[in-house]
């Protein structure tokens, strides 16, 4: 997030930005089908996060709950977090062996901008689940993990 006008801007420090994201994630996002929070409240660097996506209606994902890990290294938000599904899923942008969301195959990570957030990533992943090329892919059995 950048604040300012007429060429002057203030870059919000990483930890302030992550505290904002934490507060927003804890309040719940939109319709409640996407959420996220920190893995370890004692991690002063706020690196490790867990995200949850409830599969979109009218897709093979409907009713399924997907857990993800997001890792925000010291260069976040300048660079995107590493995003990995913990729950097994079959999607065009997800490595089928590791569960890692492959940046080259997922627009928001491939075209990362500092203003983007973990919330944006989770919402885009949910939209990807509903995309024509993902919505009907046969899925691994429920309750299986990477």
Q: Determine, yes or no, domain membership for 97.
A: yes
Tell me which H or E stretch contains 119.
helix 118-130
Question: Could you count the other beta carbons within 10 Å of the beta carbon of residue 84?
Answer: 18
Q: Identify the pLDDT of residue 2.
A: 47
The number of distinct structural domains making up the chain is 1
Mean pLDDT for 43-48 is 93
Torsion on CA atoms 140, 40, 2, 82, rounded to nearest 10: -30
Q: Identify the pLDDT of residue 4.
A: 47
Q: Band of the pLDDT at 79, cuts 50, 70, 90?
A: very high
Question: Could you count the other beta carbons within 10 Å of the beta carbon of residue 48?
Answer: 14
Q: Determine, yes or no, domain membership for 16.
A: no
Q: Determine, yes or no, domain membership for 85.
A: yes
Residue 38 has pLDDT above 50, yes or no: yes
Strand, coil or helix: what is 53? strand
Q: Which of 4-8, 52-56, 113-117 has the lowest mean pLDDT?
A: 4-8
Strand, coil or helix: what is 17? helix
Residue 3 has pLDDT above 60, yes or no: no
Q: Cβ(129)–Cβ(135) under 8 Å? A: yes
CATH number of the CATH domain containing 69:
3.10.110.10
Q: What is the largest CA-CA distance in the chain?
A: 54
Q: Determine, yes or no, domain membership for 14.
A: no
Give just the sign of the alpha carbon dihedral 130, 98, 79, 14: positive
Domain that residue 85 falls in = 29-130
Q: Which of 10-14, 104-108, 112-116 has the lowest mean pLDDT?
A: 10-14
DSSP-assigned letter for residue 71: E
Q: Determine, yes or no, domain membership for 145.
A: no
Q: What is the pLDDT of residues 47-73, one digit of tens each?
A: 999 999 999 999 999 999 999 999 999
Q: Determine, yes or no, domain membership for 117.
A: yes
Q: State the pTM of this model.
A: 0.90
DSSP-assigned letter for residue 131: S
Q: Determine, yes or no, domain membership for 102.
A: yes
Q: Determine, yes or no, domain membership for 24.
A: no
Total number of residues shown for the chain: 146
């Amino acid at each position: 997030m950048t604040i300012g006008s007429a060429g002057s801007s203030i870059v919000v420090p990483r930890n302030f930005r992550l505290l904002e994201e934490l507060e927003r994630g804890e309040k719940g996002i939109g319709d409640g089908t996407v959420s996220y929070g920190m893995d370890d409240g004692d991690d002063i660097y706020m690196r490790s996060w867990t995200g949850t996506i409830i599969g979109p209606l009218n897709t093979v994902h409907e009713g399924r709950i997907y857990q993800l890990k997001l890792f925000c290294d010291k260069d976040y938000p300048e660079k995107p977090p590493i995003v990995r599904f913990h729950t097994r899923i079959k999607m065009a942008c997800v490595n089928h062996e590791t569960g890692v969301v492959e940046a080259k195959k997922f627009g928001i990570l491939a075209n990362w901008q500092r203003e983007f957030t973990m919330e944006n990533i989770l919402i885009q992943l949910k939209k990807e689940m509903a995309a024509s090329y993902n919505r009907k892919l046969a899925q691994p059995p429920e309750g299986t993990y990477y």
